[in-house]
Structures are given as structure tokens and as C-alpha cells.
Structure 1
């Protein structure tokens, strides 16, 4: 979506938007679906929220949640319902948005859209673009999301033109929450194989994966083989992505100065820095926006990552803010580039 509109040529039909035109922004995540409707001045006039809207995992329920959040937003904020036909531009960020390229999945989301009475065509974009727009009104720069997974993107004119990683837990997502959890478990299994002390991180992993395990058995060499087999069996019986839950265990052990946890945190920060390096060169001076729990200010990975980035790249390192606000601001720019102001950006993402 370009925020630069070409001047009309002689003979072109110029469509003037009504003064009371509205825009809609959406953020479809794995755990929540959020919709915001705003007017020309960036004033929010409607909000809606529902459960997860990731179209990859459960498209039918995600589409239903999408529709629920839209209907809630169209109910307005106390001044009566909004006219859905007055929504003239919409930008919706979707985690797992590539699933919308499947006709059967897109049809379910389209049905939720038109079922709410909306008539404009929604622009579905990736969560990287939304995260970037939530962190800065700049048109060019780099964005990194590091949560359960990890991916970086190069943004030009508010559009994603190149990505790095985001390959999923099996093939990539280096430095992510999943990576931290998997590596914590792998380090524990290596210690068990060698009969070495498992340390504070290993004990915490055992407690998280096998909460009913007798702590004394962990310290007994003769119980190591049984413990190892129980860990492997338990982890393989669950969805792999649940390993990301162990990221909190790594962080807690890091704060207790466990050497294995500290090494994993440093390695995660280095891997995420390398992911950024794949899309950003040292000559790029646009902002770099960080999003996701692993890259957050409160995460030790995020703190080391920020230091790495400041040491290797010029430009500001910023933190992503309200994703649905970023999408709504992009929708304002789609309606009229003149509306994509810094003031409106601040109003929507704060």
C-alpha cells in the first residue's frame, strides 16, 4: 500500500470520499482477534475483540471470531451502531496470513466480512507490516518479530519486500521462544546422556515438563535413563509448539545466573541479530522495530538483542506498540495519504 497518491490525469474519474467515511483496522493473532474502526481524525469510534483469528490453525473458528469482533466494533462505543457501508478502507494484519491464499479459507473470511454488511474490499497483510506500522510512522525500515516464532522483514513504502526466517519450528525460527524451549530441553537430555549434573535450568525443565516427578529421582544416576525416556515420551506426545512455554523457564533460570540459561539467552540474541542482518545492511538508516515477547524490553534476550543491534546498525531501535492501531493507521493512509499523519499515528497506537 503506497501512501503516495499520483495526481489524476485529465479525463480520470475522481472519487471524493464522504466526510464521514470510516476506516477499519484489524489484528488477527493466534490468541486474539481485534478490530478498530476510526474516523478521519483518527478517533476510535468502534472496538471489537474475540478469540484467536489465525487462519492457519483453525480457519473456521478463526473466521467466526473475525466476524464476531467486526460485529462488536460496528456496535459503536455508545453513540449507536455504525453504518458498515461508511467503512471505505480496511487493512487487516494476519498471523499465518498466507493461509488466506487458499480459496476455501478466504471464502470463510469473506463470508464473515460481507455478513457484517461491509462493502469495501479488505486488504489483508502480514503481521510484520502491522508490527512495523505500530512502532513508527516511517515508510522504510526493518521489523523483527520474536515470540513463539521469529521472522524479520524489510519494509519499503509501508510494504514488506523481503523477509528472513519465519520458517516455522521445524525449519527455523532461530532465537524464538520455541527455539529457547527446545534448546533448554536438548541441553538437559545431553546432561542426562553424560550422567552430568543437570543444574538449575535442568531441574526447572523437569519440573515444567514432569510436574509430578520426584525431585530426589532427578539426583539419582540410576534414575537418569527413566527420566530421559519420560521427558522424550511426554514432549513427543504434545504439539511441538508447546515447547515455547519453556522459554519462561529459561528466563527464570537466567535471572538465577544459571550458566546454561545465560548461554542460551546470549545465543538467542545473536541468532536474532543474524536474522536482522539478512534483511538490513549497515548502510540502511531507517528505524528497526522489535515486536514479540522474546524481543521485548523486559526479556533478557530483548535487552541483549537491542545492544547487539545498536552496536552493528545505525538508526533507531524501536518497540512495536498496538498492532491493531498500526493497521488502522495504514487504513487511514489507504483512504487518503494525507490522513497518515504522525498525530494520527500517535493517537491510534498509544
Structure 2
């Protein structure tokens, strides 16, 4: 199963902001080119819509192949007519990371292998949850833990024998310390100030009025929305902006930091890969661009709750992670643990116990 020395690899990241596709080569970490399909892939009662994903992905891949520099692709003809036949296109492997893959990806796992083989000649394919591609982008194929924070919050860790996951259960059941959690806590503090209740923040109330108008209008604006988590998360930067001068806002971020560290602690392998007790932990996602108001208390909490953690910068994002997974499939071998829903490779059977629930072993 050795790929051509100049074969292409394709990485895909499907999320709420659309479908991103990158073209790379087997022997080079750098992507050759990338494109964005701005329409998010639809979901329905049957899960993620495989037909809608294919309708965007196949033309995007063909266009990237046409635009690729001559001499990268193992000698395949890159004309549109050639690719429309489904003949070999020089693609050594393709990896798709998708939000909802773990819970809504059944159709993708059933339909994509055959469809991508027919349309693009893909023979090596990986389908991954977006938390897995975030992990691969941040740490590659090394043991460790990754906390992905944005509107929501999820952590994933591995010792390369199994996965440990914590949170990622949505804003009603979890996502503790994520953007929606911080925004909701900030809006609650603002409404407390509006009512004259204890725990209120006049500073956050002023920010609420500037962002959304009269406080009494907020329930009517928020509750009918289908994108409530995103609206809540939009207030999280306002909490961070107030934290330097407002003890209520600072307290919200300190509590968020404690919750994020708790989630990280739940997934960390028990020991570092070199037996020295140290373990790489990476923070990835837009939440951590808040900077010092969140990161300072978070580093304190990580040192307290996960003393073996060494916080390292994320090497790349989920799109680069999907490229890394595709490159591993095509070349040196995939070392990340297989799992029926987190990391699925057709025709490869995952271990009997590929997933460990968070918490003490």
C-alpha cells in the first residue's frame, strides 16, 4: 500500500462555516493549494447529507487538481474530462474531518467510500470527527491531549492505543467553559445587574445594551433563534474585554478556565510518551484567541489540575490535520487509533476496545 512518490493527498474540513479542501503531496508537509466552499454541508434526520457533501467536494477536488503545478501528481492527466471519468487522478489518499461525524456520520461512512472511488479514483480514505483532525493538526501522531475551544468545547486525548474524549455535548448538556458558556454567563450577569440582583455586572449590562439593545428585548431575540449557541458565544469577547476592570467578568473567565482544565484532565493519558511524566497538551480553536484574560487563569488551572501537562502551540488547524491523516494513510502509516465513529478507515477493523471513557482507569 505504498503511494506513488509524488502522489497527491486531499484534506477536507467540513464545519459550520463551510467546506474547506486542501491539496498536498505525499512527501511534503506544505499544502499545494486550497479552496473553500462557503455553504455548510446539510444535515437531516438521516445525519450528514452525503450527497450534498459530494456535490461540493468532487468539483472542488477536480478544480484543485487542474490548478496544481505540473509534475506534482505522479504523472496523472489533470484535464477536467479525465477526472470526470473516475479514472486514476493521482490521489494517493483522502481524509475528511467533519463536525458531527461521531454522531451524525453514518451516511458518510456508508456512502462515501464507493462514491469517491467512482468519482475520483480514491482507494485510501479516512473519515474523522473534527476533534480528531483538530488533534492531528495540533500534535500530529504523537501521544497527548488537545482541547478544541470555540462556540463549544471538547477535549480528546490518546496514548496511541485508544481515544479518551470529554465534553462536546452541546450548549444545553455541556461545552463547559466554551464560548457559548462564557457568553451565557456574561449575559446572565448583565441581566442580574438590570434586575438589581446580587452577582450582577453593570459593565456587562452596558455591553449587552450596546450589542443587543434593551435587556427586556433579549429573550425575544435569543430564544426563537436556531443558532442560539453562536449568538451566546458572540458575547464572550465582551466578557473578556471587561475582565481587566470588572471582577464579575474576571470571575466568569476564571470559572471557565477551571472547567476547561477539568475537561483536559479527563482525557490526558496517565504518563508521558517518554516515561518522564510530562505530556503535551495543545489548545486550539478561536476561543483561545481571547488572550490573557482567559489564558492566564487557564494556565494556572492546568498546572494545578494536570501537573504533567506541558502546553505547546498547535502546529496546525483541523484542515492541516486532515492532510496529515491522508499523508499518513498514503505513506508512513496511520498511528492514531482507529474508532468506528471517531476515526474510520474502510476495510480496516478497529481494535475491540478503541475508546476509553473519560475518568479514572
TM over 0.5: yes
Whether the 8 Å contact between 1:89 and 1:332 is mirrored in structure 2 is: yes
Partner of 1:7: none
Measure the CA separation in 2 of the matches of 1:209 and 1:129: 36
Partner of 2:301: 308
Question: How many Å apart are 1:100 and its aligned residue?
Answer: 4.8
Measure the CA separation in 1 of the matches of 2:299 and 2:78: 44
Q: 1:69 to 1:299 in 2, by over 3 A?
A: farther
Are residue 276 (structure 1) and residue 279 (structure 2) matched? Answer: no
Question: How many Å apart are 1:176 and its aligned residue?
Answer: 0.4
Partner of 1:234: 221
Measure the CA separation in 1 of the matches of 2:211 and 2:52: 30
Measure the CA separation in 1 of the matches of 2:7 and 2:271: 41
Measure the CA separation in 2 of the matches of 1:178 and 1:339: 34
Partner of 1:328: 323
Choose from 281, 293, 303 the match for 1:288: 281
Rg: which structure is higher? 1
Structure ranking higher in helix proportion: 1
Are residue 29 (structure 1) and residue 19 (structure 2) matched? Answer: no
Partner of 2:313: 319
Whether the 8 Å contact between 1:51 and 1:65 is mirrored in structure 2 is: no
Whether the 8 Å contact between 2:117 and 2:123 is mirrored in structure 1 is: no
Whether the 8 Å contact between 1:49 and 1:72 is mirrored in structure 2 is: no
Which structure 2 segments of 5+ residues have no match? Answer: 71-76, 273-277, 336-361
Are residue 85 (structure 1) and residue 89 (structure 2) matched? Answer: yes
Choose from 125, 149, 153 the match for 1:150: 153
Q: 1:106 to 1:271 in 2, by over 3 A?
A: same
CA RMSD, Structure 1 to Structure 2 (Å): 3.0
Whether the 8 Å contact between 1:24 and 1:89 is mirrored in structure 2 is: yes
Partner of 2:102: 98
Whether the 8 Å contact between 1:23 and 1:37 is mirrored in structure 2 is: yes
Question: How many Å apart are 1:127 and its aligned residue?
Answer: 1.7
Partner of 2:253: 265
SS in 1 for 2:93: strand
SS in 2 for 1:175: coil
Whether the 8 Å contact between 1:178 and 1:244 is mirrored in structure 2 is: yes
Are residue 244 (structure 1) and residue 241 (structure 2) matched? Answer: no
Whether the 8 Å contact between 1:89 and 1:121 is mirrored in structure 2 is: yes
Q: 1:233 to 1:77 in 2, by over 3 A?
A: same
SS in 2 for 1:189: helix
Whether the 8 Å contact between 1:55 and 1:96 is mirrored in structure 2 is: no
- Counting matched residue pairs gives 307
Question: How many Å apart are 1:131 and its aligned residue?
Answer: 1.6
Question: How many Å apart are 1:267 and its aligned residue?
Answer: 0.9
Q: 1:247 to 1:325 in 2, by over 3 A?
A: same
Choose from 231, 236, 242 the match for 1:253: 242
Partner of 2:338: none
Question: How many Å apart are 1:165 and its aligned residue?
Answer: 0.5
Partner of 1:73: 64
Measure the CA separation in 2 of the matches of 1:199 and 1:29: 36
Deviations 1:260-290 (A, max 9, x none): 2111111111110111111126644331111
Partner of 1:178: 180
Choose from 41, 62, 67 the match for 2:27: 41
Q: 1:44 to 1:275 in 2, by over 3 A?
A: closer
Question: How many Å apart are 1:181 and its aligned residue?
Answer: 1.1
Measure the CA separation in 2 of the matches of 1:56 and 1:300: 36
Q: 1:117 to 1:207 in 2, by over 3 A?
A: same
Deviations 1:7-62 (A, max 9, x none): xxxxxxxx554333322222222213222222232153442221154554874655
TM-score by length of 1: 0.76
Partner of 2:332: 337
TM-score by length of 2: 0.74
